Structure 1
Amino acid sequence: MKTILIVDDEKDIRDSLEGVFTDEGYSVLVAEDSEAALVTLKKGLPDLILLDIWMPGMDGIEMLKLIKEDYPAIAVIMVSGHATIDTAVKATKLGAYDFIEKPLSLDNTVLSVANALERSRLIQENTALRESVERDFTLIGHSKAMQDLKEDIRRVGPTDSWVLITGENGTGKEFVARNTHLSSLRVDRPFIEVNCAAIPEELIESELFGHEKGAFTGALKAKKGKFDQADKGTIFLDEIGDMSLKTQAKILRILQEQSFERVGGNELIMVDVRVIAATNKDLIEEMKEGRFREDLYYRLNVIPFHVPPLRERKDDIPLFVDFYIKDFARRTAKEAPGIDEA
């Protein structure tokens, strides 16, 4: 149950809001001024504060400053009966989610609170996801090759340039792709991974582009494809060297036009995606043998990243050992054993 703290010097407003939000299923706390609110905050933190601006003693703007300094994760909605545009702008700059004028519309207030709490949930979820990804997809290594690769990611990540990652199986190409996405301006947008080698040829078009209801036997409803899901974000085409020439041609069209039709459909769907591709194959050799399209190769290979195998960076081996021992200890809640360097 989410908790709301209502801070207002008018008792009838406190009582009215308390009744409404209690009926909406929230746990409600009330305070008649900023000083009483600070005492309440020391006992436990609410998820959201409805904060009046004009109150005796410390006004709502000063209270907002304190809240955002000490409790930045709490959502705050400002309330006022006679505020100016300057006051509203100031409150927004200080971190208020919304600014509501009295007399209050209870429906609008309930909606604003719900939206603010949903935004807080998404921020917390995204932060937790980013921390998880950063932990689980750490690029390990202090060797020159890895330092150069990390620097390339930091440099290229914030751009929208497409990236082609090469390297043997098990070298961490997915880690490089995810770290590139985390360094980009699309970090809060989807990262959609497609293992091109794992999808049967007869299903890959449906997986990538989606399909309409009735497009084929078993298509009981319309389905978005991976490119659709990745709109405004990043799509990672892993093992792209395993795609058939037919599928390569369709991929090339998407990359050129940023548009496609779903299987069984004729509506042109526009997308905005950053493409990161990876392969364990020598695509130059694949082109010579006629198994990979030259135009697709040059379309993808805007920024090349190569991930060297561990045997070529033996100085990184102790770091891998230490990382995985500590990771195992964290996952199993056991103390990490020491390493005998002998």
Structure 2
Amino acid sequence: MPESILVVDDEPAILDSLSKILEDEGYHVTPAKSGAEALRTLSTDPHDLILLDIWMPELDGLETLKRVRDQWPRQQVLMMSGHGSIETAVRSIKLGAYDYIEKPLSLENVTLRVRHALDQHRLEEENLKLRTKVEGRYELVGMSPAMQRLRAMIATAGPTSGRVLLSGENGTGKELVARAIHHESPRREKPFVAVNCAAIPETLIESELFGHEKGSFSGATAMKRGQFEQADGGTLFLDEIGDMSLNTQAKVLRALQEQQFTRVGGTKLIKVDVRVIAASNKNLPREIEKGQFRDDLYYRLNVLPIDVPPLRERKEDVPLLVRHFITQHVEEQGLKVKEISPDALQLLAQYDWPG
């Protein structure tokens, strides 16, 4: 399948000649006479490269470039102008353009710059796919400053053995962050075990965490290994730990201090090597003041604190997330790739996302 190029220029003669040159080189070319037409085209038909003229009436090239980068951050754009200046070239590069070509255009220069831009774009896309494959099931999507800081903290926390306490609202992706930390750690080949503390009844949580012996209580028809035991050598993720009762907190604290425990109904001490990552959507220092959370457990867990930001604090990631989920959906369903309209994307960006 030939690589696709969207050529945008308000001068018909240049638009036609440039389109023909690129078609003769084997590219699939779509012409557009204005920035507005280019945006409409991109909303339904993605292209590998945009050749974009700067000096156009109404919506000029720089404003078009800004809107393109806002809506499709990975789009490769090559700017061109017959009234060039260093300032204009620098501004276009700062806005995200790959390169800048001055008119009059020569066949050799155009084809060379286009080839370089497409090769660079292909390399970036291959690297992105490789990173996604390596990252596995956790997909931390976003390039905002908040996400860059989060990735840096994950990279710092991963190789250590220290416990991590994740804070953040429901839906911010705390389990994804925990999986990312596990993946960055020397324990990555060992189990990652996730426990939602809020979803387990108080009567069962001790058995769930530490296991039980056969006959230890009504219904215990067989020995069961708990989550601490199953995570031996790896990582145990205790989600919503702020919902854990004080009684259970005391038992978890002892297991963390001694790296050993007994199953419910048992007497044998079971030693484990487990890294614990905990998470809560509650303000745990405030819960401590209210007497609802143990301060000694908090300090045991809060060795490496990481705050996971809500989407409303990184709205520049919305276009990337939208494209990610659309691509994921069409691949799972075997559908044709679709793009979201600029108006719909703007509405999504304006929404005050909880979590």
Query: Smaller-chain TM-score range?
Result: 0.5 to 0.7
Aligned equivalent of 1:244: 245
Aligned equivalent of 2:325: 324
Alignment of 1:75-224 (within 5 A): 134-224=135-225
Letter in structure 2 aligned against 1:270: K
Which structure 1 residue ranges, 5 or more long, are not aligned? 1-129
CA contact (8 A) 2:323 2:339 kept: no
Alpha-carbon shift at residue 204 of structure 1 (Å): 0.3
Letter in structure 1 aligned against 2:300: R
Question: Take 1:316 and 1:218, find their aligned partners in 2: how far apart are those partners?
Answer: 49
Q: Compared with structure 1, are the counterparts of its residues 301 and 309 closer, same or farther at alpha carbon in structure 2 (3 Å cutoff)? A: same
Alpha-carbon shift at residue 145 of structure 1 (Å): 0.9
Letter in structure 1 aligned against 2:157: V
Question: Take 2:261 and 2:216, find their aligned partners in 1: how far apart are those partners?
Answer: 15
Aligned equivalent of 1:94: none
Question: Take 2:132 and 2:309, find their aligned partners in 1: how far apart are those partners?
Answer: 26
CA contact (8 A) 2:327 2:337 kept: yes
1:339 lines up with 2:340 in the alignment:
yes
Higher relative contact order (CA 8 A, sep 6+): 2
Deviations 1:232-291 (A, max 9, x none): 000000000000000000000011000000000000000000000000000011000000
Aligned equivalent of 2:236: 235
Give the percent of matched residue pairs that are identical in Structure 1 and Structure 2. 60
Q: Compared with structure 1, are the counterparts of its residues 224 and 133 closer, same or farther at alpha carbon in structure 2 (3 Å cutoff)? A: farther
Q: Compared with structure 1, are the counterparts of its residues 286 and 324 closer, same or farther at alpha carbon in structure 2 (3 Å cutoff)? A: same
Aligned equivalent of 2:293: 292
Alpha-carbon shift at residue 338 of structure 1 (Å): 1.6
Alpha-carbon shift at residue 135 of structure 1 (Å): 4.2
Question: Take 1:335 and 1:236, find their aligned partners in 2: how far apart are those partners?
Answer: 37
Alpha-carbon shift at residue 336 of structure 1 (Å): 1.6
Alpha-carbon shift at residue 335 of structure 1 (Å): 1.6
Q: Compared with structure 1, are the counterparts of its residues 292 and 133 closer, same or farther at alpha carbon in structure 2 (3 Å cutoff)? A: farther
CA contact (8 A) 2:146 2:314 kept: yes
Question: Take 2:133 and 2:275, find their aligned partners in 1: how far apart are those partners?
Answer: 22
Question: Take 1:303 and 1:165, find their aligned partners in 2: how far apart are those partners?
Answer: 9
Alpha-carbon shift at residue 141 of structure 1 (Å): 1.2
Question: Take 1:159 and 1:226, find their aligned partners in 2: how far apart are those partners?
Answer: 22
Question: Take 2:249 and 2:238, find their aligned partners in 1: how far apart are those partners?
Answer: 11
CA contact (8 A) 2:132 2:139 kept: no
Alpha-carbon shift at residue 133 of structure 1 (Å): 8.3
Question: Take 1:234 and 1:186, find their aligned partners in 2: how far apart are those partners?
Answer: 7
TM-score, normalised to structure 1's length? 0.61
Aligned equivalent of 2:51: none
CA contact (8 A) 2:187 2:235 kept: yes
Alpha-carbon shift at residue 132 of structure 1 (Å): 7.0
Q: Secondary structure at the match of 2:195?
A: strand
Q: What is the total number of aligned residue pairs between the two structures?
A: 213
Deviations 1:37-57 (A, max 9, x none): xxxxxxxxxxxxxxxxxxxxx
Alpha-carbon shift at residue 201 of structure 1 (Å): 0.2
Letter in structure 1 aligned against 2:189: D
Letter in structure 1 aligned against 2:266: G
1:253 lines up with 2:271 in the alignment:
no
Aligned equivalent of 2:98: none
Question: Take 1:294 and 1:336, find their aligned partners in 2: how far apart are those partners?
Answer: 51
Q: Compared with structure 1, are the counterparts of its residues 270 and 279 closer, same or farther at alpha carbon in structure 2 (3 Å cutoff)? A: same
Cα root mean square deviation, aligned: 1.4
Letter in structure 2 aligned against 1:232: G
Alpha-carbon shift at residue 339 of structure 1 (Å): 2.5
Question: Take 1:336 and 1:252, find their aligned partners in 2: how far apart are those partners?
Answer: 50
Q: Secondary structure at the match of 1:197?
A: helix
Q: Compared with structure 1, are the counterparts of its residues 294 and 133 closer, same or farther at alpha carbon in structure 2 (3 Å cutoff)? A: farther
Aligned equivalent of 2:347: none
Q: Secondary structure at the match of 1:304?
A: strand
